[in-house]
Structure 1
Amino acid sequence: MLAPMLPSFLLVALLLELTPGPNMGWLALLSASEGKRAGFAATAGIGLGLAIIAAASAFGLAQLAHQSALVFDLLRYAGAGFLLWLAWEAWIGERDVSPSKIHRDGSPAKHFRRGLIINLLNPKAAVFFVVVLPGYIVVNESVAAQTMQLSAAYVGIATLIHVVIVLFAGQAHGWLLNSPYAGRVRQGFAVMLAVIALWFFVGTFR
Structure 2
Amino acid sequence: MDIHVWLAYLVTAVVFSLAPGSGTVNSISNGLSYGTRKSLAAIAGLQIGLSIHIILVGAGIGALVAQSALAFSIIKWVGAAYLVWLGIQKWRDRGSLSTASTDDSLSGLTLMKNAVLINLTNPKSIVFLVALFPQFIDPTQNQVTQLLVLGVTTVVIDAMVMLGYTSLASQMGRFIRSEKVMSKINKVFGSMFVGCGALLATAKA
Q: Is the structural similarity TM-score above 0.5?
A: yes
Once the two structures are TM-superposed, the CA of residue 20 in structure 1 deviates from its matched residue by: 1.3
* Structure 2 gap segments, 5+ residues each: none
Query: 172-181 or 21-30, which moves further after superposition?
Result: 172-181
1:1-206 pair list within 5 angstroms: 5-92=5-92, 94-97=93-96, 99-100=98-99, 102-203=102-203
Q: Equivalents in 2 of 1:90, 1:21: separation in Å?
A: 16
Once the two structures are TM-superposed, the CA of residue 179 in structure 1 deviates from its matched residue by: 4.7
Q: Equivalents in 2 of 1:185, 1:16: separation in Å?
A: 26
SS in 2 for 1:140: coil
Q: Equivalents in 2 of 1:43, 1:35: separation in Å?
A: 12
2:65 maps to a residue whose letter is A
1:158 maps to a residue whose letter is D
Normalising by the residue count of structure 2, what TM-score does the alignment of the two structures yield?
0.89
1:114 maps to a residue whose letter is N
Q: 1:183 to 1:85 in 2, by over 3 A?
A: same
Listed one character per residue, the Cα deviations across residues 107-127 of structure 1 (whole Å, up to 9, x for unaligned) are 111110111111111112211
| 8 A contact 2:96–2:178 mirrored in 1 | no
Once the two structures are TM-superposed, the CA of residue 195 in structure 1 deviates from its matched residue by: 1.8
SS in 1 for 2:141: coil
Normalising by the residue count of structure 1, what TM-score does the alignment of the two structures yield?
0.88
Once the two structures are TM-superposed, the CA of residue 136 in structure 1 deviates from its matched residue by: 0.6
RMSD: 2.1
Q: 1:77 to 1:3 in 2, by over 3 A?
A: farther
Count of residues paired in the alignment = 204
Q: Equivalents in 2 of 1:189, 1:54: separation in Å?
A: 28
| 8 A contact 2:90–2:186 mirrored in 1 | yes
SS in 1 for 2:20: coil
Q: Equivalents in 2 of 1:129, 1:109: separation in Å?
A: 27
| 8 A contact 2:97–2:173 mirrored in 1 | no
Q: Work out the percentage of aligned pairs sharing the same amino acid.
A: 25
| 8 A contact 2:82–2:118 mirrored in 1 | yes
Q: Equivalents in 2 of 1:15, 1:186: separation in Å?
A: 27
* Structure 1 gap segments, 5+ residues each: none
| 8 A contact 1:2–1:146 mirrored in 2 | no
Q: Equivalents in 2 of 1:82, 1:23: separation in Å?
A: 13
| 8 A contact 1:27–1:165 mirrored in 2 | yes
